[in-house]
Chains A and B, each alone.
Chain A
Amino acid sequence: MNKRDFLKDAILFFPAAGVLQALSCQAQGKEMSAAATTGYDQSQHWYGMGIDVDKCIGCNRCVEACKVENNVPDEPYFFRTWIERYTIRADGETTVECISTKTAEERLAEQSEPVDPSVLRTFFVPKLCNQCANPPCVQVCPVGATFQTKDGVVLVDEKRCIGCRYCIQACPYGARYLNPYTRTAEKCTFCYHRVTRDMLPACVEVCPTEARIFGDLKAKEDRLVRFQRANPISVLKPDLNTEPKVRYAKLDGEVR
């Protein structure tokens, strides 16, 4: 090979190799860098959350904490977690409301309303991304921006998301929204930035009644594992085979 040919090949080869290397780094970058910097091993965990329906008092603190922690827009159209209130009347009629879309004043005013004798019982149900083991949102993402980590959390790469909103359509639980500022899809991350540093998700941290139990389904002595053993457990929309990792204890059949 003469000098001219060599230079010609080199001009092609070196940039091409650089591009390939950059692409492969980009493809694996997220997970590699986390492991390298913190010593945190994703493969050792499988996160989930337990919800003790009976314990939720509908104070909405989890929702507020989530909005602050994760920079969720304040407007009542965007939620990573929210609280539903179910009212079941003697005649069997069920009404459902989302108390998180109301203002604090509205919620307070409701407390002083007279007791309606036709109400049989009411209860609150905290909702959030179910962190499905078989997530339909990951399946449909056309660019792989939504992905499942090895420790079982479904995340969105906001630098890659093209904002097509297919994942929002595919989520059976209404857990996703399009952030109007970033124009990308967002959802609950289990506060991934906290849990990988041995902290609890913000909603769990602030819950005054411990209605939310965060844990690691791979750890035998974990609180969540014990919670699952001690309570009758159900998940939302089990017929869709999404295999949610948010597990509800003593959940009423009315809840979808």
Chain B
Amino acid sequence: MNDTVPAGLYEQLANQLSQVTGFIYPNEIETHWSILIVLYPYLTGIVAGAFILASLVKVFNVVEVQPIYRLALLTALSFMLIAGLPLQLHLGHPERAYEIFMTPQPTSAMAMFGFVYLWYLLGILLIEVWLEYRQQLVLMAREARSGFMRSVYRALSLFSTDVSPAAVAWDHKASRIVTIIGIPSAFLLHGYVGFIFGSVKANPWWGSVLMPIVFLMSAIVSGIAMVMLLYMVLSLLRNEKLDMRCLDKVGLFLLVAIIVDFALEALDYIHRIYQSEESIKILGELVSVKLFTSLVIMQVALGMLLPMLILALVRSRRFNDDMRKLMYFTSVLLIEVGIFSMRWNVVIGGQMFSKSFRGLMAYKMELTGIESLMTAIVLLSLPFIILTVLHHLLPTRWMEEHATPAH
């Protein structure tokens, strides 16, 4: 046994204890899933959403979205590489995490998520990105100036050299098949995250059959919004003209997704209120006392209704390009804040009321340390750093800019 407890733990618990109202079970003072576990569904959601946006091009042939296809793929990959990290850091024994794979527990949603995550990363995303970029990588290796970069590109292309039309056509075909398998896998990925919470019958705030599907729809919303945001920022940085046809189309998909998401979440709340089960009183208190700002204002009003209104307005009136850009930009920013709040309200909200249904707890976020705001900010910025590197290594527009015929 270790002789030391994590620094500041008892101070934090004493502080949280002083804010308890009503009765709670004594072991409930500690907030077991902290800000890091809020990040995890947020990051994973963006992966699933970005991939589903990409699949619109590959499987459903929505040509308008083509300009952001590669960006969507790279976004999914960047966020995927980090999505597991908050979980890993949160563990009491991170060095034992491999046990999840060594001793598979089919009854555990969390264990199975490990396999779904691995499958999605190794079986879908990496293959999809590789197929998409293989031809470009071969050509980049040929044109690379330094020997080092040539080796890097050759290694990334897994030393393939064939860029004949037949080989490229095969890439496209294979990529389409991978995407077709990828869509249900993306659904599975984030549906599973929802199931991790939705299947906890002990917690009435989580235990809902709608949870996986609500998570999935909100994932699609957050992923589409994130790719749209990145596309707008990237175009600004590159000083490129935005493809308004693409933006309008993605905006339409975003509007549809957010309407479905809103309908599902509203259904969940209406169902709870109407059924009025044993837990309804404490959950009502939870929302009105603890989550009013983060749920009613941030998640629903600012993060959902307002962007929904703006996106609907874009379509109902004739605005010029600049106005539409501004409206889209505002909407996607609001949506990202809203979805993050939604993850917060689920994860932290679910731990702010006692399972005795007689009291409310507090969560005081640490500023420094492992499970802290600082770590969360670092983790949240990592996907963007990875995306910058990936974007540098695998330029999305290279083929158009180097429109030389294959050698």
Residues of chain B lying within 8 A (CB to CB) of residue A84: 23
Q: A174-B28, A177-B30, A181-B3 are in contact. Are A140 and B109 (CB under 8 A)?
A: yes
Within B29-48, which residues are at the interface with A (CB < 8 Å)? 29-30, 32-33
Q: In the complex, what residues of B have CB within 8 A of residue A164's CB?
A: 87, 90-92, 110
Cβ–Cβ contact A77 & B25, under 8 A: no
Judged by a CB distance under 8 angstroms, whether B6 is at the interface is: yes
Partner of B108, one of A98, A127, A139, A171: A139
Contact B27 A140 (CB under 8 A): no
A174 contacts B26, C-beta separation under 8 Å: yes
**Chain A residues within an 8 Å CB radius of B2:** 181-183
* Contact (A256, B357) CB under 8 Å given A79-B27, A177-B30: yes
B residues within 8 A CB of A161?
92-93, 96
Contact assessment for B13 and A75 in the assembled complex, using a CB-CB cutoff below 8 Å: yes
Interface size range of chain A in the complex: 35 or more
Which applies to chain B's interface (DSSP): helix, strand, loop or mixed?
A: loop
Complex interface: stretch among A3-11, A141-149, A223-231: A141-149
Which chain B residues lie closer than 8 Å to A76 at the CB level?
A: 17, 26
Question: Which residue of chain A has the shortest Cβ distance to B16 in the bound complex?
Answer: A77
Bound complex: CA of A184 vs CA of B17, how far in Å?
A: 22
Interchain CB contact under 8 A, A166 and B356: no
Q: Which of B5, B9, B96, B107 contacts A162 (CB 8 A)?
A: B96
Please state if B100 and A174 are interface contacts (CB–CB under 8 Å): no
Q: Is the CB of A172 within 8 A of B92?
A: no
Q: Across the interface, do B23 and A98 meet the contact criterion of CB distance under 8 Å?
A: yes
Chain B residue contacts of A53, Cβ below 8 A: none
Q: A140-B108, A140-B109, A181-B1 are in contact. Are A97 and B23 (CB under 8 A)?
A: yes
Q: Is A172 a contact of B108 with CB atoms below 8 Å?
A: no
Say how far A36's CB is from chain B's closest CB, in angstroms: 23
| Residues A77 and B23 in contact, CB atoms below 8 Å apart | no
Q: Say how far B6's CB is from chain A's closest CB, in angstroms.
A: 6
* CB-based contact B358/A77 at 8 Å: no
Q: Is B97 an interface residue (CB 8 A)?
A: yes
Q: Please give the distance in Å from A179's CB to the nearest CB on chain B.
A: 8
Interface mask (A127-168 → B, CB under 8 Å = 1, otherwise 0): 100000000101111111100000000000000111111101
Verify A82–B358 contact, CB threshold 8 A: no
Counting CB contacts under 8 A, is B201 at the interface? yes
Q: Which of A143, A163, A184, A256 contacts B356 (CB 8 A)?
A: A256
Q: State the CA gap A174–B26 with chains docked (Å).
A: 8
Residue of A nearest to B3 (CB): A181
CA distance A172 to B206 in the complex (A): 12
A79, B91: Cβ atoms under 8 Å? Answer: no
Chain A residues positioned under 8 Å from B26 (CB to CB): 76-77, 79, 82, 98, 100-101, 174
A121 to chain B, nearest CB (A): 17
Collect the chain A residues with CB atoms within 8 Å of residue B4's CB: 181
Binding site for B on A (CB under 8 A): 27, 71, 73, 75-79, 82, 84, 95-98, 100-101, 127, 136, 138-145, 160-166, 168-178, 180-184, 240, 256
Known: A140-B108, A178-B30, A183-B92. 8 other contacts (CB 8 A): A77-B26, A142-B105, A144-B105, A160-B99, A162-B92, A173-B25, A174-B27, A181-B4
